[in-house]
Chains A and B, each alone.
Chain A
Amino acid sequence: MGDVVGESATDADLIVASLDDPQEFGGLFDRHGRAVHRYVASRARRADVDDVVSETFVTAFRARSRYDRTYGDARPWLFGIATNVLRHHHRSEHRRLARLRAVPRAPEPVVDLSEGVAAAVDAASESDRIDRALDRLDDRHRDVLLLAASADLTYEEIARALGVPVGTVRSRLARGRSRLRELLVAGGQHEMDASTVTPSCEGSLE
């Protein structure tokens, strides 16, 4: 019962095996559950994370007969499903970010804060600022940014996950990065990498 497919088997092999023996699908969770959990945790309310991850794999299980077996690596497929499930939960995602916004900002350190406390306050403030900026991004841009940053997918894998052309991923990533930079700068003058702007042209931009 289950686990008869060896470690060298591809994800596609596991999925095919699970058509005969559904228990084999557990192997897919063992391989990618942690990565999917990380991605979902970066986007969903903490109380919803386990539900979303569970729903992602159950949905994948139901859809496994239609998996394109020419792809050995199932991560993009799983992240695509997770993104769709998250979209259903997007309002809870927004609510999570809303609460972050509602929390008063940490007070500015005035006197004698130890270096460690000051660093912690700075980190919390920075994290809050990034959450706010993410919150204001369009869903499409947030999807590609977090699939790249949180799920570590390549352009091609993101394209597969979202069912869009690679060019669209590049376009959305470019716009998303640009927009995120604007929001971060507007929200706190975060220092962005000068290497993302052609150096000698930078000063000419408005």
Chain B
Amino acid sequence: MIDELELLRRHVDATVDPDPDLEPIRRRLMASIEEGGAVQSPDRRHLARGSRARPARRTAASVVGLVAAAVAAAVVAFLVIGSPTPVHRAPRAASGPFPSHLSVGRQLRLLADRVADRPTPHLGAGQALYTRSDLSVLADVNNGTAQATVGLSVQKWSTATGQTCTTLTARPAQFASPSGQAAWVGLGLRIIPQPAAASQCLEGGAGAMPPDAITGAGQLIDVSSLPSDPATLARELQSGTTGIPVLDQLLADLAAPNPGFQRAAMLLIGPTTGDTPQFESTLYQAIALLPGVTALGPMTTHDGASGQGFASGPGSGQSTIVVDPTSGQLLEVRGLDDSDSLTSIAGNYLGGGALQVNEYSDQLQWLDPVGAPSVIGLSKLPAGLPVYVFATTRPGLTYDQALLPVHRVAQPYVSSFTSISSEITVQSDPNGGGTFQWSFAGPGPIVDQFMRTLRASGLFASVSEI
């Protein structure tokens, strides 16, 4: 019997050519070096995303992913415990819809004035920012063989350190016709995903990975490092050089029209930290400076709210935001290039029978933030968010020596664990110590008590929680 890593090693050994012909690649590299020897200042985006030319506009074929590529994450039916405290938003300047004769730039600058004094959430230790959005996604399977509209509710809880937990809850798929439904089912797909919710938690930090999607497992975006000068911010948003991977890499392979507008919309969607009223004001001024932005006048969102519309450019097929002209709060986003909205939950649509799914794509149709971001205490986080405890044995205690006493220490807590694993720290050294890992279903006093017990046992050099 072998463990997962060894299994993967053998799998790679068995499936990868052990003696590939590298000479053609070397020749190409050296040719590139000869041609590109003059490259003195590499583009940050090239480093992050590679240098291949992007398609001019995403097509159905270019956005394909896989239904089964989705993470069928451990599903927890979350209920928000307690009532989050809404962040009060008080307009400073005169409120109400904008007069139709105002230019788009003037409207956005007026909006910037109105948000300049608006309080923004401040996250302290022991707190989390809670946001919720409803959205609609068009899913296309096997290049038009089957299509469905999927409604999702996305809830996020983010701590000041950037750890973000996301829960997607899907509603039953909707079809344009009975034959459309038959095509969907005929591919082995469920109408109601099983389970209907998927949850995922990501660590934060400067090196954290970018999200799969705006609406997926996206992390908290720290905007404190963004420029306070609107022109500089507009330039960085447009070119994807903000230095925030979540923003810069999001659209790098799509060559979307007016990417600056889409990145600005993503900042409006959030969740963000380091936010100030001045930043929001700067953001609206920056949007005013983006090329091609147009005013759409009064608009009504899918849930009936009235707002002022702005588009990334003239004509159809543009990204659109609808904002409350009084508060500057985002009411709706439409047509955002977000082709991975379903990633975290798509696998839950797979039925148990024979699958005939080769590829799928999805397109966000609209997203409505529900309420304003709220700050809640960590003690009110939903039960079920995973907590991992790591403990590394003290020097001189071998893995084998540690196993039994560690088990005795952990035994009283076994019923609280969702998983247990352990490994020898230095695998090549039979006398090496070990790292033990326990996962809990949710935070709480039991975790603290368990960690105190581990530390008091004298078995471990370090005990940490992630």
- Hey, which bits of chain A sit against chain B, CB under 8 A? 22-23, 25-26, 29-30, 33-34, 37-38, 41-42, 49-51, 53-59, 61-63, 65-66, 81, 84-85, 87-89, 91, 94-95, 97-99, 101-102, 123, 127, 130, 132, 134-140, 143, 145-146, 148-150, 159, 162-165, 167-168, 170-171, 174-175, 177-181, 183-184, 190-202, 204-206
A77, B4: Cα distance in complex, Å: 25
CB of B71 closer than 8 Å to a CB of A: yes
CB of B48 closer than 8 Å to a CB of A: yes
CB of B3 closer than 8 Å to a CB of A: yes
Partner of B12, one of A138, A150, A159, A200: A150
In the assembled complex, the CB of A9 is this many whole angstroms from the nearest CB of chain B, namely 18
Inter-chain contact A37/B15, CB cutoff 8 Å = no
Q: Which of B33-41, B99-107, B236-244 contacts A (4 or more CB under 8 A)?
A: B33-41
Output the nearest chain B residue to A191 by Cβ-Cβ distance. B1
Q: Which of B169-177, B203-211, B302-310, B453-461 contacts A (4 or more CB under 8 A)?
A: B203-211
Contact residue range for chain B?
35 or more
Inter-chain contact B403/A199, CB cutoff 8 Å = yes
Interface string of B4-48 (1 = CB under 8 A from A): 111111011011110010101110111011101101111100111
Q: For A145, list chain B residues within 8 Å (CB).
A: 4-5, 8
Q: Which of B221-229, B279-287, B412-420 contacts A (4 or more CB under 8 A)?
A: B412-420
Partner of A149, one of B8, B24, B42, B51: B8
Interface string of B60-79 (1 = CB under 8 A from A): 00111110111111000000
Closest 9 A-B residue pairs measured CB to CB?
A: A163-B207, A149-B8, A62-B42, A193-B3, A94-B66, A164-B207, A138-B71, A85-B50, A22-B37
Partner of A137, one of B5, B63, B71, B205: B71
A190, B8: Cα distance in complex, Å: 13
CB of B278 closer than 8 Å to a CB of A: no
Q: For B403, list chain A residues within 8 Å (CB).
A: 198-199
Inter-chain contact B12/A38, CB cutoff 8 Å = yes
Inter-chain contact A42/B66, CB cutoff 8 Å = no
Inter-chain contact B33/A195, CB cutoff 8 Å = no
Inter-chain contact B209/A198, CB cutoff 8 Å = no
Q: Which of B118-126, B267-275, B434-442 contacts A (4 or more CB under 8 A)?
A: B434-442
Inter-chain contact B8/A146, CB cutoff 8 Å = yes
CB of B253 closer than 8 Å to a CB of A: yes
Partner of B16, one of A38, A62, A140, A205: A38
| With A34-B20, A197-B421: A139-B212 Cβ-Cβ less than 8 Å | yes
Inter-chain contact B16/A42, CB cutoff 8 Å = yes
A170, B356: Cα distance in complex, Å: 36
In the assembled complex, the CB of B356 is this many whole angstroms from the nearest CB of chain A, namely 8
Q: For B209, list chain A residues within 8 Å (CB).
A: 139-140, 143, 162, 164
CB of B422 closer than 8 Å to a CB of A: yes
In the assembled complex, the CB of B256 is this many whole angstroms from the nearest CB of chain A, namely 15
Interface of B is mostly: mixed
In the assembled complex, the CB of A185 is this many whole angstroms from the nearest CB of chain B, namely 11
Inter-chain contact B435/A50, CB cutoff 8 Å = no
Q: For B390, list chain A residues within 8 Å (CB).
A: 167, 170-171, 174
Residue contacts A-B, CB under 8 angstroms, 7 given: A38-B12, A38-B16, A65-B41, A89-B50, A94-B69, A145-B4, A192-B4
| With A54-B25, A174-B388: A59-B51 Cβ-Cβ less than 8 Å | yes
Inter-chain contact A136/B12, CB cutoff 8 Å = no
Q: For A193, list chain B residues within 8 Å (CB).
A: 1-4, 6
A132, B70: Cα distance in complex, Å: 11
Q: For B117, list chain A residues within 8 Å (CB).
A: none
A162, B210: Cα distance in complex, Å: 11
Inter-chain contact B11/A167, CB cutoff 8 Å = no
Inter-chain contact A201/B411, CB cutoff 8 Å = yes
Partner of B63, one of A91, A134, A204: A91
Inter-chain contact A25/B66, CB cutoff 8 Å = no
Partner of A58, one of B29, B73, B414: B29
Inter-chain contact B20/A37, CB cutoff 8 Å = yes
Inter-chain contact B50/A84, CB cutoff 8 Å = yes
Inter-chain contact A168/B20, CB cutoff 8 Å = no
Output the nearest chain A residue to B245 by Cβ-Cβ distance. A163
Partner of A41, one of B3, B8, B16, B422: B16
A89, B164: Cα distance in complex, Å: 26
A200, B420: Cα distance in complex, Å: 11
| With A88-B50, A135-B66: A50-B14 Cβ-Cβ less than 8 Å | no
Inter-chain contact B421/A138, CB cutoff 8 Å = no
Interface residues of B in 376-416 (CB under 8 A from A): 386, 388, 390, 403-404, 406-407, 410-411, 414-415
Output the nearest chain A residue to B346 by Cβ-Cβ distance. A136
